[in-house]
Structure 1
């Protein structure tokens, strides 16, 4: 059974959650999309003003304490960095996270964040996209720098995005081997990539320079550009502890195989280096993390086939993945 087979329960929870806030009487919610959670727009029916975005999390994905950790990081970013992220809105009782029991008996956690102006990055905007990725690299470096300086970072209750939780035995989003489009021959090639990735990650290791608190899903839809060309970051739902390089790999999710990808990576690196150092050891593993992310998203596409974004991404997925895999084996095989 898929996570959203009973979408009506999410709608019921969303309508219960909105009642816990002091919004004007003309406030309504509009269902937007399904991903790791169900997302709703909160808006004023009279002025059409966007008030915020309501997230209803899947049961058993995050705990209340993990949501608390996300809120704490959001406020640290907005208060102590030059970046802008969407702050959570507090309910009538002064809390940010609402615990709501669904009609199915499961516990659902909800949170509302403010609505930020801007449009998602678009790789088709060839005139601006490389410069935007340079700004994204700079922003990502500020995030990494902030987590290194914040003395409470290590105490946050968020999971580790390590090999096992990404594509290994405890993979959070399922196993890439289950993707229905891969043939047996494809799986043989991808298994070779998987084995090389695991070995290279062990050698790369985890240290203060390459591992810490990361956004973990800095792809195009989670990065907004406003009319003043300012970049904003949204959706910290997947934030956890991982390799910093994962934020680079995530930024080109679903477009790793496109011709523009190398230009975007180079732009990202230029921006990152304005704020943080980038070692030769990390540079040598960029392809490893790109392949790691591609395998992770293969699993995600299969286990989240009921998710709206997944439906479009599956087009040409196998061909793109196998092109990346064969290139990876030419480099490291």
Structure 2
């Protein structure tokens, strides 16, 4: 009985080791482990027949069985390590990039010239202590006109005819509406700069567009004067254009008094670049400020005008038609 069981154990070892050596997947290897070493495996079935042996025979067969089990377990571990290593190597080879091959060309994006001028201007104003404020492009008649000292019958409305919506709202004609909303919520002193898209009914040509961009600034505090306005405008224009001659011409805006147009001497001729003025007392009253205590100044300019001058663009429509031949220059 002992000799027969011993022969069976050795034969099982040879059979199992051969099967393990030919296993080519981890799944197949696990099947072999269960078949030979599992609770219901072949080795366990042979060992259960030891109950019929005598007490003297069991230790010898038990030692042989342990040797067979350890040999099979070692074979399984070695084959598993070899298969896992091969699997990792195959994955690495499949995922390896050939760095000698040329990459797929993806052109880099560029900042649009309009956005570039906006960023440049805002950097200057923020450096001067201004806070950026923004608002909705759809406005009410009150915030766009009436609160800015421009009632229904005011002739200045003809110059800022805009697009009206069925619900009575309109597309803002300037970012001054942002200033009104800001003043309603905040108390002086403050300094803000308001960039954004604005709309006016205008015939489109080389220098005009019904949709354009504007940047306006507003400062309100005790004791502000026209001298503060002139100094602020001068510092800003010199930062944008360089140290060039600047002049202020008397003008008219409903929401500022006194008002002025700002000219810059560019390429030997005077070029109008900005409008500005001291905030009209009626505007301060409309937001609840006491004009006897507070004063303020405001200024604004068209981003397209600055862009066309600084980049020598001959037609405003080039800024909107998304022609890559034009945009790649910036």
Q: TM bucket by the smaller chain?
A: under 0.3
* More RCO (CA 8 Å, sep 6+): 1
Structure number with greater Rg is: 2
**Normalization by structure 1: what TM-score?**
0.23
